[in-house]
Structure 1
């Protein structure tokens, strides 16, 4: 079973990015499970001094979930031509631990206009030694569509693209030893 951890870069309850990840979970092929991580908004501001002692519970939970996942599925909006601060904060908390380096990552994008954030995100993830799987990454036009995960999964063209991306991601993830 391939276990993917879904990380939305948006804290909005009804974000297009979150809905895209929900659709992916609904469309996951047999042998793949996609689990959401909803704790990004609970993370404290990154402070390297906090890594010297016991990690805050929210940080520990993030690192444990990332470590247990076979890959990360990230969907992140663009704010002011960059990565939202809350999501960058989450990534900063992963830098000091052993859980992230080498982790396969697929980037889903809910808006073709969000190209600057995607470029910045790729740079950050590669700097952190993540392995961005380009053939599994996907951009779909969902901006302002107001669709939930089920409605996205019901759109044949988008659903087919999501399934193809997830299948490509599965091929890029090494089999467990």
Structure 2
């Protein structure tokens, strides 16, 4: 029996109705046995990063965010592209983690909710690898629901779940995590 995995999902959009969040919710529902996903709801509440507020002055919410990241066996990132880049609030959350030790070498998978947005994926890969996260490329998931009606999004996500596409990505991610020494 493989050990239970806890995955922490980070949404780059703070809209509750975002397609990135909707994809993360679908992944959470499609979790195979042995995997649990929690979606982070703290990013929008983080204060603007200031290096003067690190160390003893680190805000409690940042410590809470970091503790969840530390506890996770792996991270899932789903992020839209805003103006050819990383949304400011999400980049702010990453900035809080740069000098901390919770994320280096942590495995990460991307779940992308658009047929476009490759610039944000490139930028996130650069930033996250600079922070020493390990992007698990075989787990990459793209389910293009952005720009579609609610009904079309639901149908596409249902199909991705019923076809096993969501579970397959999670399975490849879990396999990479469990293969670590």
TM-score bracket, normalised by the shorter chain, equals over 0.9
Residue number in structure 2 paired with 1:154: 158
Shift of 1:145: 2.1
Matches within 5 A, 1:56-71: 56-71=59-74
What is the count of residue pairs matched by the alignment? Answer: 177
Q: Does 1:96 align with 2:99?
A: yes
Secondary structure, counterpart of 1:86 in structure 2: helix
Q: CA RMSD in A?
A: 2.0
Matches within 5 A, 1:6-155: 6-147=9-150, 153-155=157-159
Higher RCO (Cα < 8 Å, 6 or more apart): 1
TM-score, scaled to structure 2: 0.91
Residue number in structure 2 paired with 1:168: 172
TM-score, scaled to structure 1: 0.93
Does the Cα contact within 8 Å between 1:10 and 1:84 map onto a contact in 2? Answer: yes
> Unpaired runs of 5+ in structure 2?
none
Does the Cα contact within 8 Å between 1:27 and 1:159 map onto a contact in 2? Answer: no
Distance 1:21 1:159 in 2: 17
